[in-house]
C-alpha cells in the first residue's frame, strides 16, 4: 500500500466548528522521560544494563533481569520485525477518537525487546521486517512508529507521521526577520520545502539589505512589517495573519560582539534583550493564543514554533558576553513557552547554532555555520519532529562538552 | 497708545487675539509613534531609541479604572530640540543643556525659507548663504535671535522609507551647506536652525568640510536645532512666533518637543502664493 501524495488542503469549512486540540496520554515515569529527552534531541536510545547487558523497555529504575541499577542509555538502530498487527477502531481517549481506525503492532527489535508501536500506512502486514522510529507525539512524549524498511516517495505524507512532525509542506510560515542573512536563507529553504505561504517580517524597512528584492520576489513570499521591539507592530501583524500562521520561525536577533565591561553603558545589551528576549515574549503574547487555538484545525493545523537561539546560550563566550546573556534569557523563556504551548501540542523547536557566518562574526575563525546550512537544519528539524538541534561542528562539539561538564566548558570558553 | 500700556495688557491682548482667532496656533510637531523613523547610525554604534509604548493598564485587570502607558525614546527622536551640548563643540558652553537653557530660548520669531521646490527636484539640494541673501532681498534682513526654518515639505513624506531616503551611499535629504551655517551663526546671529528632515544637517553632511556644520558650528556657538518639524508650509516667511521648550532633563542634550507657532491670521504664507 502506498501513501498518497499530500495535496494542498482546502481551506477550513467555515460553518463547521473549530476542532479543539487534544493530546495523547502524556504522563511518563522519570525513567521514561530519559527516552523522551533523547528523542527530543533526535536520538533513539533504550536502557542497557551495565552489569548483565540486557536491553530493556519500558524504561525502569532497575534491570528486570539482574536488578542492577547501573543502567546506561544505548543508541538503538530501530531494525526489527513486526510480529503482529491489528487495527484499533475505538478509543476512549479523546485524542485517538479522531485518528481511528489506527494500525498498531508489536515490533521485536533486533536487541530482543518487544514494543507496542503505531504503524505507518505503508508498513507491511506481520510478519515482516520494519524500521522502528521513535518520535515525539502531540503530548511531547516519545512514542514509536514502524516504517517500511525502504523509503518510498511520499513516506512523510502519512497522516500519523504528520501528527508527530511539522513538515513545512503546504504550511503557512512566518519568518520574523527576513532582512538578515539567516532570514534570506530561511525564506529560500521554506520555498524549497513546499511551504504554502511565507510571511517575511521586516523591521525598519529603510534599512533593507542589498539583494532583499530577490527574497521579496520569491513565489509564496509576502513581505510584512514586523518589529519585535514594538508591541504594537507585533500585535498589528498578529491581527492580520496571526490566525493563519502554522509555523512561526523566530530568527530575529540583535547581535553585537562585546564583553560586559569593555563597552561602556548598557544600550547595546538592552537592544539585544529587546529583540532576543522580550521580542520572543511579545510574539508569544500576540501569536501564541491563536496558534494554540488552531492546533487541531481540520484543514492545516498550526504545528510548530522555532526559536533560533545560540549554542552560547548554554555557556557564555566572554568576547560576546551580552549577546550570550540575551540568548540564555531567550532559552529560559523558550522553556516556559514550550510548557505553555504543549497543552495544544504545538512543538517548540530550539535551534542552537554555533557562530553563523554573517557580518557579526567577522573575527571568529571558521568553521562558521553558513546561513543556508542553518536553514536546511531548521527545515529538517521540522520534518523530523525533533525539539532541540545543534547544527554545525562547533555547536555539536560544544554541546558534547557541555553535557560532559558544563563547568569544564565554562573554563574552556575563556580561551575561545 | 498701545506702546504705553503695561505688560499685563500685552498678555491680555494676546489672549483676546487668540480667542478672536486673530492669532492662530500651528502645530509644528510630528506624532510620537512607534512607526516614525529614528536617526540611523552605523550599526556598530549604540542607536537612538525609537518611540515605544507599553501599557501599564487599560481599564483591565491591571487597573480597572485607569489607562496609562510607559513610553521610551531617545532624546533626539521625533520633533525635537537640539541643545548645544549635543555636539562636542558645545560641550563647555554655559546654558547649553536642557536643564540650564535660558527661558528666553524657548520663544523666538521665525524666518521661513521655502526650499520645497529644490528639495522636490533634488533630495540632496542644499541651502546656501547666497540663497539666504536672496531671500533677505525679498523679505528683509534675518533678525538676531530668530529661528531660521528651512521648509522642504519633507514632512509630507509619510512613508518612513521615503522620509529616510537611504541608498548604498547613505541618506539623501536636504539641509544647509557650510556657507549658510557660517552666515546664519556669525553674520545673522540666529537662535538656531530648524528643518523638516530627521536632522538639521543634510543627509550627506558627513562628507562636508567640516562635517555636520549645522551641528558643529551651530552648537559650538551656543545655538540650537529643531528637526522633524511639520506644517512649515502654513507659516509666513516672517512674523511667526515659535514656542519650543524641551523637557527639563538633567544634563540632557535635547528632547522631543511639542513645537508650536503663533501666526497672525492676516499674515500671508507661502502656500497662499506669497513668495
- Chain A residues within an 8 Å CB radius of B160: 205-206
Answer yes or no: is A1 within a domain. no
Residue B193 in contact with residue B148, Cβ under 8 Å? yes
**What is the residue range of A330's domain?**
172-415
Mean pLDDT, residues A283-297: 95
pLDDT at residue number A241:
97
Same domain, A157 and A178: no
- Chain B residues within an 8 Å CB radius of A210: 168
Task: Determine contact: A74 vs chain B, CB below 8 A.
Answer: no
Question: Angle A278-293/A321-341 helices, nearest 10 degrees?
Answer: 20
The partner residue sitting opposite B46, judged by closest CB among A205, A231, A267, is: A267
Domains of chain A: total: 2
Rounded CA separation A216/A212 (Å):
6
Q: CA end-to-end span of chain B, whole Å? A: 33
Same domain, A92 and A189: no
Closest residue of chain A to B71, computed from CA coordinates: A230
Same domain, A181 and A158: no
CATH of the domain at A364: 3.40.50.720
3-state helix, strand, coil in chain B (%, to 5): 30, 25, 45
- Chain A residues within an 8 Å CB radius of B50: 229-230
- For residue A181, give the nearest of A350, A359, A309 by alpha carbon: A359
Task: Determine contact: A227 vs chain B, CB below 8 A.
Answer: yes
Q: Is B273's pLDDT higher than 50?
A: no
Same domain, A323 and A384: yes
**How does residue A14 score in pLDDT terms, banded at 50, 70 and 90?**
confident
Answer yes or no: is A11 within a domain. no
Task: Determine contact: A262 vs chain B, CB below 8 A.
Answer: no
Task: Determine contact: B137 vs chain A, CB below 8 A.
Answer: no
Write phi, then psi, for A59 (nearest 5 degrees).
-60, 140
pLDDT at residue number A140:
95
Closest residue of chain B to A256, computed from CA coordinates: B44
pLDDT tens digits, one per residue of A164-219:
999 999 999 999 999 999 999 999 999 999 999 999 999 999 998 888 999 999 99
* Domain limit, last residue, from A162, A191, A219: A162
A231·B53 Cβ contact <8 A: yes
- For residue A38, give the nearest of A14, A4, A73 by alpha carbon: A73
Write phi, then psi, for B70 (nearest 5 degrees).
-95, 130
* Cell numbers given for A48: 542497557
Reported ipTM: 0.87
Rounded CA separation B70/B72 (Å):
7
The partner residue sitting opposite B47, judged by closest CB among A230, A232, A271, is: A271
Residue with cell 490566525: A243
CA atoms within 13 A on the CB side of B262: 14
- In angstroms, what CA-CA distances link A198 with A107, A173, A191, A299, B41? 40, 5, 8, 18, 30
Rounded CA separation B88/B253 (Å):
11
Same domain, A248 and A380: yes
Same domain, A341 and A301: yes
* Cell numbers given for A198: 511565507
Same domain, A48 and A152: yes
Chain-centre distance of CA B114, in angstroms? Answer: 15
pLDDT at residue number B31:
98
Q: Is B5's pLDDT higher than 60?
A: no
Answer yes or no: is A84 within a domain. yes
Closest residue of chain A to B162, computed from CA coordinates: A206
- Chain B residues within an 8 Å CB radius of A206: 37, 40, 160-161, 163-166
Answer yes or no: is A19 within a domain. no
* Cell numbers given for A98: 479522531
Rounded CA separation A50/A363 (Å):
46
Q: Is A416's pLDDT higher than 70?
A: yes
Residue B124 in contact with residue B177, Cβ under 8 Å? no
**How does residue B100 score in pLDDT terms, banded at 50, 70 and 90?**
very high
* Cell numbers given for A179: 532582512
Rounded CA separation B177/B180 (Å):
5
Q: What is the overall mean pLDDT for chain A?
A: 95
Q: Is A309's pLDDT higher than 60?
A: yes
Task: Determine contact: B31 vs chain A, CB below 8 A.
Answer: no
Strands A142-147 and A102-109 come out as unpaired
Strands B107-114 and B147-151 come out as parallel
Tell me the percentage of chain A whose pLDDT exceeds 70.
Answer: 100
B50·A271 Cβ contact <8 A: no
pLDDT at residue number B1:
46
Write phi, then psi, for B28 (nearest 5 degrees).
-95, 15
Answer yes or no: is A260 within a domain. yes
Write phi, then psi, for B136 (nearest 5 degrees).
-65, -35
pLDDT at residue number B275:
42
Same domain, A158 and A293: no
Same domain, A186 and A63: no
pLDDT tens digits, one per residue of A17-30:
889 999 999 899 99
* Cell numbers given for A153: 516517495
Task: Determine contact: B164 vs chain A, CB below 8 A.
Answer: yes
How far does the CA of residue B28 sit from the closest CA of chain A (Å)?
24
Rounded CA separation B158/B161 (Å):
9
List residues of B with catalytic annotation. 86
pLDDT tens digits, one per residue of B187-242:
999 999 999 999 999 999 999 999 999 999 999 999 999 999 999 999 999 999 99
Q: Return the higher-pLDDT residue of A312 and B267.
A: A312
Mean pLDDT, residues B17-27: 95
Same domain, A394 and A253: yes
How far does the CA of residue A57 sit from the closest CA of chain B (Å)?
50
- For residue A45, give the nearest of A130, A109, A139 by alpha carbon: A109
Write phi, then psi, for A44 (nearest 5 degrees).
-115, 110
Rounded CA separation A107/A181 (Å):
45
- Chain A residues within an 8 Å CB radius of B164: 206
Alpha helices (H) along B76-192: 116-121, 129-139, 160-164, 178-182
- Chain B residues within an 8 Å CB radius of A231: 52-54
pLDDT at residue number B141:
98
pLDDT at residue number B274:
43
Rounded CA separation B184/B132 (Å):
9
Rounded CA separation B60/B62 (Å):
5
A206·B161 Cβ contact <8 A: yes
Strands A142-147 and A114-119 come out as parallel
Range scoring the smallest mean pLDDT among B5-19, B27-41, B90-104, B177-191 = B5-19
pLDDT tens digits, one per residue of A342-354:
999 999 999 999 9
pLDDT at residue number B2:
52
Same domain, A178 and A154: no
pLDDT at residue number A283:
98
How far does the CA of residue B98 sit from the closest CA of chain A (Å)?
21
B37·A206 Cβ contact <8 A: yes
3-state helix, strand, coil in chain A (%, to 5): 35, 20, 45
Same domain, A247 and A99: no
Task: Determine contact: A232 vs chain B, CB below 8 A.
Answer: yes
Set out the domains of chain B in order of their start, with CATH numbers.
21-40+75-272 (3.50.30.50)
Q: What angle do CA A178, B199, A203 make, to 5 degrees?
A: 10
Strands B254-256 and B80-82 come out as antiparallel
Residue A322 in contact with residue A310, Cβ under 8 Å? no
**A299: Cβ contacts below 8 Å, ≥ 6 apart:** A9, A10, A11, A12
Q: Which among B31, B32, B33, B34 is the top mutation candidate for probing chain A, defined by the most A β-carbons within 10 Å of its own β-carbon?
A: B34
How far does the CA of residue B198 sit from the closest CA of chain A (Å)?
13
Amino acid at each position: 500500500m502506498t501513501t498518497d501524495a499530500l495535496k494542498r488542503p482546502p481551506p477550513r469549512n467555515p460553518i463547521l466548528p473549530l476542532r479543539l486540540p487534544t493530546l495523547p496520554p502524556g504522563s511518563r515515569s522519570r525513567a521514561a522521560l530519559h527516552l523522551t529527552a533523547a528523542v527530543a534531541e533526535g536520538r533513539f536510545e533504550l536502557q542497557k544494563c551495565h552489569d548483565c547487558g540486557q536491553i530493556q523497555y519500558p524504561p525502569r529504575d532497575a534491570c528486570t533481569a539482574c536488578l542492577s541499577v547501573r543502567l546506561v542509555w544505548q543508541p538503538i538502530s530501530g531494525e526489527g520485525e513486526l510480529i503482529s498487527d491489528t487495527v484499533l477502531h475505538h478509543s476512549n481517549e479523546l485524542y485517538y477518537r479522531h485518528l481511528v481506525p489506527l494500525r498498531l503492532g508489536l515490533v521485536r527489535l533486533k536487541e530482543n525487546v518487544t514494543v507496542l508501536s503505531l504503524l505507518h500506512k505503508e508498513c507491511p502486514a506481520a510478519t515482516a521486517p520494519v524500521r522502528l522510529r521513535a518520535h515525539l507525539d502531540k503530548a511531547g512524549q516519545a512514542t514509536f512508529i514502524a516504517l517500511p524498511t525502504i523509503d518510498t516517495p511520499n513516506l512523510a505524507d502519512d497522516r500519523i507521521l504528520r501528527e508527530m512532525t511539522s513538515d513545512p509542506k503546504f504550511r503557512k510560515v512566518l519568518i520574523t526577520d527576513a532582512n538578515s542573512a539567516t532570514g534570506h536563507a530561511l525564506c529560500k529553504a521554506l520555498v524549497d520545502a513546499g511551504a504554502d505561504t511565507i510571511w517575511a517580517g521586516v523591521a525598519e524597512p529603510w534599512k533593507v539589505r542589498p539583494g532583499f528584492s530577490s527574497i521579496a520576489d520569491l513565489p509564496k513570499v509576502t513581505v510584512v512589517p514586523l518589529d519585535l521591539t514594538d508591541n504594537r507592530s507585533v500585535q498589528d501583524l498578529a491581527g492580520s495573519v496571526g490566525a493563519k500562521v502554522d509555523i512561526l520561525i523566530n530568527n530575529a536577533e540583535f547581535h553585537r560582539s562585546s564583553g560586559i565591561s569593555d563597552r561602556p553603558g548598557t544600550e547595546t545589551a538592552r537592544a539585544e534583550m529587546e529583540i532576543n528576549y522580550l521580542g520572543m515574549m511579545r510574539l508569544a503574547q500576540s501569536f501564541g493564543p491563536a496558534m494554540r487555538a488552531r492546533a487541531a484545525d481540520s484543514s492545516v493545523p498550526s504545528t510548530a514554533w522555532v526559536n533560533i537561539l545560540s549554542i552560547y546560550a548554554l555557556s557564555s563566550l566572554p568576547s560576546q558576553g551580552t549577546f550570550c546573556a540575551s540568548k540564555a534569557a531567550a532559552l529560559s523563556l523558550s522553556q516556559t513557552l514550550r510548557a505553555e504551548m504543549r497543552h495544544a501540542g504545538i512543538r517548540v523547536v530550539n535551534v542552537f547554532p554555533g557562530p553563523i557566518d554573517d557580518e557579526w562574526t567577522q573575527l571568529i575563525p571558521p568553521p562558521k555555520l553558513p546561513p543556508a546550512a542553518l536553514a536546511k537544519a531548521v527545515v529538517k528539524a521540522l520534518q523530523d519532529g525533533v525539539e532541540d538541534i545543534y547544527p554545525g561542528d562547533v555547536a555539536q562539539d560544544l554541546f558534547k562538552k557541555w553535557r560532559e561538564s558544563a563547568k569544564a566548558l565554562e573554563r574552556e570558553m575563556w580561551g575561545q | 497708545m498701545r506702546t504705553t500700556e503695561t505688560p499685563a495688557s500685552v498678555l491680555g491682548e494676546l489672549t483676546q487675539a487668540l480667542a478672536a482667532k486673530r492669532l492662530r496656533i500651528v502645530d509644528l510637531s510630528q506624532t510620537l509613534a512607534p512607526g516614525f523613523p529614528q536617526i540611523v547610525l552605523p550599526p556598530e554604534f549604540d542607536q537612538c531609541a525609537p518611540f515605544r509604548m507599553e501599557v501599564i493598564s487599560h481599564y483591565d485587570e491591571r487597573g480597572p479604572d485607569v489607562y496609562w502607558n510607559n513610553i521610551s525614546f531617545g532624546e533626539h527622536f521625533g520633533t525635537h530640540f537640539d541643545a548645544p551640548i549635543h555636539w562636542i563643540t558645545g560641550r563647555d558652553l554655559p546654558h547649553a543643556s536642557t536643564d540650564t537653557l535660558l527661558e528666553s530660548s524657548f520663544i523666538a520669531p521665525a524666518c521661513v525659507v521655502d526650499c520645497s521646490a529644490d528639495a522636490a527636484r533634488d533630495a540632496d539640494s542644499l541651502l546656501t548663504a547666497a540663497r539666504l541673501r536672496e531671500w533677505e532681498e525679498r523679505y528683509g534682513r534675518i533678525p538676531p535671535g530668530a529661528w531660521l526654518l528651512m521648509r522642504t515639505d519633507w514632512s509630507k513624506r509619510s512613508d518612513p522609507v521615503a522620509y529616510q531616503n537611504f541608498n548604498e551611499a547613505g541618506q539623501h535629504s536636504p539641509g544647509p551647506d557650510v556657507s549658510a551655517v557660517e552666515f546664519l551663526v556669525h553674520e545673522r546671529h540666529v537662535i538656531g536652525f530648524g528643518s523638516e528632515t530627521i536632522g538639521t544637517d543634510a543627509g550627506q553632511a558627513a562628507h562636508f568640510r567640516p562635517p555636520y556644520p549645522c551641528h558643529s558650528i551651530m552648537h559650538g556657538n551656543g545655538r540650537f536645532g529643531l528637526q522633524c518639524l511639520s506644517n512649515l508650509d502654513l507659516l509666513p516667511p516672517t512674523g511667526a512666533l515659535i514656542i519650543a521648550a524641551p523637557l527639563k532633563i538633567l544634563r540632557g542634550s535635547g528632547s522631543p518637543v511639542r513645537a508650536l507657532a503663533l501666526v497672525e491670521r492676516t499674515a500671508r504664507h507661502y502656500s497662499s502664493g506669497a513668495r
